[in-house]
Homo-oligomer: A and B are copies of this chain.
Amino acid sequence: MANPKLSNRSRSSAVQGEIRQTKPFRSTAQEATIALLRTASIVNRALARVVEPYGLSLAQYNALRIIRGAGAGGIPTLSIRERMIEEGTTITRLLDKLEDAMLIRRERSVPDRRQVLCFVTDGGRKLLDSLDPLVNAADEDAVASLSELELERFISLLDAVRQTNAKRGAPRNAGLART
């Protein structure tokens, strides 16, 4: 622990209020990590509720968007996993579900027969088209309390946190995305 950053200051804290804690947090760092995890959990569930009525989990929706983003060339299975928000190890079964639902199609790659390429089907594309505005709206809502400038700062701070954590034990410093 190179930099203790112990503070125990008396700043009013929303998190402290929420948890009805008597003692203040022992460090700003601890408060920050808890606030981060807590906030993400809430946003995650809010977004999940948007797509669930359409029979998709948030992870499935995310994967589907990534596959659509790959375009006509398709995308190999593990590339999808690298780009997902939660790098679930269950990517195969997740894709199985999407394929069962006829939202994607899979076929072995021609030059490299180890790979399995994934393509979005017309049905999958149609589903995404109807979901896009809803999810975009939910994204906006989730951070609606922040101004554009605050959003930029927020993203920078998150990037910084991710940067340091990606280097060490973290699962994989790959990306995420919807595209």
- The answer to whether the Cβ of A35 comes within 8 Å of any Cβ in the partner chain is yes
Report the nearest B residue to A35, measured CB to CB: B158
Interface residues of chain A: helix, strand, loop or mixed (majority): helix
Give the segment of A15-23, A93-101, A104-112 that binds chain B: A15-23
List residues of A whose CB falls within 8 A of some B CB.
1-5, 7, 11, 13-15, 17-23, 26-47, 49, 69, 83, 85-87, 133, 136-137, 139-146, 148, 150-155, 157-166, 168-171, 173-179
22 A-B pairs within 8 Å (CB atoms) are namely A19-B174, A23-B179, A27-B136, A28-B151, A30-B178, A31-B155, A32-B154, A35-B159, A37-B40, A37-B47, A37-B86, A39-B158, A41-B87, A42-B162, A42-B166, A45-B170, A46-B169, A49-B169, A141-B168, A144-B164, A150-B160, A154-B161
